[in-house]
Chains A and B, each alone.
Chain A
């Protein structure tokens, strides 16, 4: 069975490491990008699009909301599940991200368990993967 792939998009290397640890534990192959622009460039160069993208909001060059908007406008990226992982926790920001096309929203700080639960809700990992 082919391993699913997750793109981790965050300008903090430390946060990318944390997210990478979680998705790797869930048997995803992790791909890293430091901002939305780098992520789009990588995605355009890939023959197969990852199943999941975990996206920070506040990043230089291209922020997470802009990335989601671009990704949703690209038919090739339509199947990719987009999860915002951010400190932007106001209701209005969550609504903006979901309206732009994000599927889920995880607020920093998050525990590993909380992240796994979200991914289970999205059907990307088996329910109970956290236990």
Chain B
């Protein structure tokens, strides 16, 4: 099934803002500052897959330090107390929250996977036969964070190469 994706950069940015407001920066003092640099580096990433009316992946990627800070904010602990398990858990939940909200904007009939977390750069990820269609790229207190959507080429006939 081929569908025109209905989620754009502004929609993603709005979701990201809600995540920051709810969990990562409730005081509103340290928002994600957009850089619009889709090639910014990452050290860890997490993703959820969506299948059905739209097929692809939603990927959250960041530096190790930004991930540690996110985990500390979620778990109400100091960044140096965050374990690898905490990092994985919070990265997975971030992908789940953003992916779930992306799914809600897609045509009915999409299903969301459980999150996958990889404590390695996004460049190590392999999403066969997909293309990045949109994303939000920014710095959070000087540390890179990105959220991107990858669409299966089979799901986007016009965009296939």
Please give the residue numbers on chain A whose beta carbons come within 8 Å of chain B beta carbons, in ascending order: 11-15, 17-18, 21, 58, 60, 86-90, 92, 107-112
* A92, B108: Cβ atoms closer than 8 Å: yes
List residues of chain B with CB within 8 A of the CB of A112.
26
* A90, B104: Cβ atoms closer than 8 Å: yes
Q: Report, as a range, how many residues of chain B touch the other chain.
A: 20 to 34
Could you pull out 21 A-B pairs where Cβ atoms are within 8 angstroms? A11-B114, A12-B90, A12-B92, A12-B96, A13-B86, A14-B75, A15-B74, A15-B93, A18-B23, A60-B114, A87-B104, A88-B100, A89-B100, A89-B101, A89-B104, A90-B103, A92-B108, A107-B101, A108-B96, A109-B23, A111-B26
Give B111's nearest chain A residue, CB to CB. A58
* A13, B104: Cβ atoms closer than 8 Å: no
Please give the residue numbers on chain B whose beta carbons come within 8 Å of chain A beta carbons, in ascending order: 18-19, 21-23, 26, 71, 74-76, 85-86, 89-90, 92-93, 96-97, 99-101, 103-104, 108, 112, 114
User: 11 more A-B contacts (CB under 8 A) besides A17-B75, A17-B76, A109-B101?
Assistant: A12-B89, A13-B86, A14-B75, A15-B74, A17-B74, A58-B96, A58-B114, A87-B103, A109-B18, A109-B22, A109-B23
* B22, A111: Cβ atoms closer than 8 Å: yes
A15 CB to closest chain B CB (Å) equals 6
How far is it, in angstroms, between the C-alpha of A24 and the C-alpha of B19 when the chains are bound?
22
* B26, A87: Cβ atoms closer than 8 Å: no
* B76, A109: Cβ atoms closer than 8 Å: no
At the interface, is chain B mostly helix, strand, loop or mixed?
Answer: helix
A102 CB to closest chain B CB (Å) equals 16
How far is it, in angstroms, between the C-alpha of A90 and the C-alpha of B106 when the chains are bound?
9
* B74, A18: Cβ atoms closer than 8 Å: yes
A117 CB to closest chain B CB (Å) equals 14
B67 CB to closest chain A CB (Å) equals 12
B131 CB to closest chain A CB (Å) equals 24
How far is it, in angstroms, between the C-alpha of A86 and the C-alpha of B19 when the chains are bound?
13
A60 CB to closest chain B CB (Å) equals 6
* A14, B103: Cβ atoms closer than 8 Å: no
How far is it, in angstroms, between the C-alpha of A86 and the C-alpha of B99 when the chains are bound?
11
Contacts A14-B89, A58-B112, A109-B19; A87 near B100 (Cβ below 8 A):
yes
